[in-house]
Amino acid sequence: MTTIGINVNTRAVKISVEPRTHLADFLRDQLNLTGTHLGCEHGVCGACTLLIDDMPARSCITLAAACDGAHITTIEGLDDDEITTELRAAFTREHALQCGYCTPGMLISARDLVLRLDTSDEHAIRVGLSGNLCRCTGYVGIVRAVRSVIDERRKRGIPPILGAGRERLGPVGSCNGAGTGREQAGLSSAGLEEERLGGTTTISDFVPDKVFDEHFTVASPPDKVFAMFGDIEQIAASLPGVSLTGNPTPQHVKGLIRVKLGPISAGFRGAARIERDPNTLSGRIVGTGNDQRSRSSTQGEIRYRLVPINGGIATRVELSIGYSLQGILAQIAREGLVRGLAARLTTEFARNLALRLSGNAASAPTRQAQSIDSASLIFEQLRILVRKILRRTQNG
């Protein structure tokens, strides 16, 4: 058996596999991801197509053990993907499926074409889909569906992405696999991760393992607070331990957050997708990050809502924080510790935000290089515990 660490649909998975197990069997049998279908098992029919490191690949002729370190996206991981959603609707509209057996693989290949092709050239689409066999439809509806999605997107001004968003060359999975691929590419793991989490990478939704709420108030009206929340650089500067690692856009940010949990210092390097709704003064940030030193990874989601208080001159900021943690830190970071960390982070963020909103940014400490130290949190929790015990003793 070989132990591999891969990221499947943005979730880090560490598992033992037989060296001869192919990726499709591994996903279907061990992870229950049965959306990846198996037809020929010889790399001919395309039913098993999925994305390895964002590139379409045949999972029936890919050994799971060879994917150590790779990012796998199956059809289940594209549930909320914009292009796949448009393709699904077009497939239904154009009667592009009958039994549906080829459809998951077909959608993944079609998505790649929608990303890459400048125009809806029928010949190019047929060539692009020639590795995906369909025994039912005769392909006419499939080609029509793909053409319509390309046409609609180009009409909406969405250009093709050169190389379909792939920033690396080489065989599928070659850059992220353990060992030679990395060294040949001349990239550190952290560098690869940063590259992977660049502006063109889709950050998928996920179901957090833990969710909790926080809130704070600021003495500024909601619209002013909402405008500040749109200023990524100001927000990052208000968050202790956070620094940006690239130029943010209104929808996307790359960064580094340093934390210290017990004896372990970690620096999670990652990226986040930003969504904002000015009508409801709410927003959502979904991010993912990895710490190479502790071999831990995390996914996080922060939802916020701004509620006017005191007749609208102040704001209550309501937060819902969700996260999943994998790796060594997951064993150390008990929920209470993470919640304490989040509470501390929220308090400091609220204080810095208030200073910036009042125009006293200079007084707000620049904490970018400073990590969030959990030692004081542990003592804080101990203090609370001791206080509780004393109170119980006094009452008893």
- Whole-number Å distance between alpha carbons of 124 and 113: 9
Question: In this complex, which beta carbon is closest to ligand FES, that of residue 99 or of residue 219?
Answer: 99
Q: Tokens standing for 151? A: 């046409």
User: 3-class SS at 265?
Assistant: strand
Total of chain residues touching ligand FES, rule CB under 6 A: 23
- CA pair distance 279, 98, nearest whole angstrom: 41
List 19, 100, 171, 230, residue binding ligand FES (CB under 6 A): 100
Query: Based on CB atoms, which residue is closest to ligand FES, 47 or 192?
Result: 47
H helix or E strand, kind and range, residue 87: helix 82-93
User: Among residues 49 and 298, whose Cβ is nearest to ligand FES?
Assistant: 49
Strand partners, 8: 11, 72
By C-alpha distance, which of 347, 352, 374, 372 is closest to 233? 352
Interacting residue with ligand FES among 95, 135, 210, 383 (CB under 6 A): 135
CB of 100 to ligand FES, least distance (A): 5
Q: Toward ligand FES, which CB reaches closer, 37 or 182?
A: 37
Q: In angstroms, rounded to a whole number, what is the distance separating the alpha carbons of residues 290 and 269?
A: 5
Collect all residues with Cβ–Cβ distance below 8 Å to 231 and sequence separation of at least 6.
none
Handedness of CA 159, 204, 201, 249 (dihedral sign): positive
β-strand pairing of 372-373 with 252-261: parallel
Residue 144 C-beta: closest distance to ligand FES, Å: 14
Minimum CB distance to ligand FES smaller for 98 or for 371: 98
Indicate whether 21 belongs to the interface with ligand FES (CB under 6 A): no
Nearest distance in Å: CB 137, ligand FES:
5
Chain centroid to Cα 258, Å, comes to: 18
Q: Is 140 in the site for ligand FES (CB under 6 A)?
A: no
CB 357 to ligand FES: min, Å? 56
Using the minimum distance from each CB to ligand FES, give the nearer residue, 41 or 195: 41
* Complex with ligand FES: residue 61 or 332, whichever CB lies closer: 61
Q: Which residues from 211-240 bind ligand FES, rule CB under 6 A?
A: none
CA angle 16, 22, 165 (to 5 degrees): 100
3-state helix, strand, coil in the chain (%, to 5): 40, 25, 35
Per-residue contact track with ligand FES, 56 to 75, x per CB under 6 A? --x-x---------------
- Give yes or no for residue 139 binding ligand FES (CB under 6 A): no
Please select the residue that binds ligand FES; options are 52, 87, 97, 345, rule is CB under 6 A.
97
CB of 181 to ligand FES, least distance (A): 22
Query: Which positions ≥6 away from 151 have C-beta within 8 Å?
Result: 120
Segment interacting with ligand FES, rule: CB under 6 A, options 76-84, 95-103, 338-346, 385-393 = 95-103
- Provide, rounded to whole angstroms, the least separation between the CB of residue 206 and ligand FES: 27
Going by C-alpha positions, the residue among 218, 264, 270 that lies closest to residue 244 is 270
Between 78 and 281, name the residue whose CB sits nearer to ligand FES. Answer: 78
Query: Binding to ligand FES (CB under 6 A): which residues in 34-53?
Result: 38-41, 43-48
> Which residues lie closer than 8 Å to 142 by C-beta, 6 or more apart?
91, 94, 96, 97, 106, 110, 129, 134
The residue behind tokens 């999605």 is 149
Q: Does 338 bind ligand FES (CB under 6 A)?
A: no
CB of 373 to ligand FES, least distance (A): 50
Give the residue with the Cβ less far from ligand FES, 136 or 350: 136
Write out the residues near ligand FES by the rule CB under 6 A. 38-41, 43-48, 58, 60, 97-103, 134-137
